Amino acid sequence: MRDLGVIVLHIPAREGSKRVPRKNMRLMNNKPMIYYTISAAITANITNEIYVNTDSQEIEDYVSENFPNVKIYKREKNLADDNSSSDEFNYDIIQKLSPDTLIMINPVCPLIDSKDIENAVEFFKNNEGDTLISASSTQMQTFCNDEPVNINVNEQLAPSQDNKKIVILNWAVTIWDSKSFIDRMKTKNYAVLGDNRLLFEIEPLKGLKVSEEKDFILIENILKSRI
């Protein structure tokens, strides 16, 4: 088991969102959506260095008032617009805070829970890799741009369990070795996918992501059903 050194966990939550306006602060089952990932990160108890990475004064005020042990990392506006990349804002926080290990919890995956985070960190500790990305998988018949991916359409349909497994990244939890991340950014100008990556499977439900209004409604209904 390797030592992860100084761990920083951050939750990137920018102000702007075109498809679901204000989604990080929009009420989902009577709580702002960002509440769920912050609570999961705190309960996981991986590190005391928990940050919400934001350009939003509204989000900053909410976090400061409701989660006094969570810190604010004030993101520059140029790293929070529609053109900024995950490579750039993760590189920024690594450069400024100098962690040995950076963990990102995605606020648009509000069904992720503390046990998923704990299990991901344990998996990263016990396996060789510079990057861990949470994912889900399927062996159902899959097409991309109308072309078959894991089946042969010119033969009899096989049982789904015989098909190749398709792994879908959901980015609910991502972990990076910071030194490797920095090296990739300096040499390639991109880094988040890693070189020696670990694809960590979680339940498909946990990785559901709010990208559009229909996603928000679906996940809110799931949360309501748990009461």
d(C-alpha 32, C-alpha 22), whole Å: 10
Q: What is the pLDDT of residues 99-139, one digit of tens each?
A: 999 999 999 999 999 999 999 999 999 999 999 999 999 99
How crowded is the C-beta side of 62, counted as CA atoms within 13 Å? 20
Angle at CA 48, nearest 5°, toward 44 and 53? 90
Domains of the chain in sequence order? 7-137+169-225 (3.90.550.10)
Q: Are strands 143-144 and 147-148 parallel, antiparallel or unpaired?
A: antiparallel
Enter the tokens of residue 51. 């940050």
Distance (Å, whole) CA 71 – CA 52: 6
CA gap 118, 123 in Å, rounded: 9
This prediction's pTM: 0.94
Give the model confidence (pLDDT) of 169-219 as tens digits.
999 999 999 999 999 999 999 999 999 999 999 999 999 999 999 999 999
Q: Are the C-beta atoms of residues 181 and 90 closer than 8 Å to each other?
A: yes
The set of residues, in sequence order, having a beta carbon less than 8 Å from that of 7 and lying 6+ positions away, is 46, 47, 49, 99, 100, 101, 102, 103
Q: Could you report how far apart the first and last alpha carbons of the chain are, in Å? A: 38
Residue that is written with structure tokens 């934001």 in the block: 54
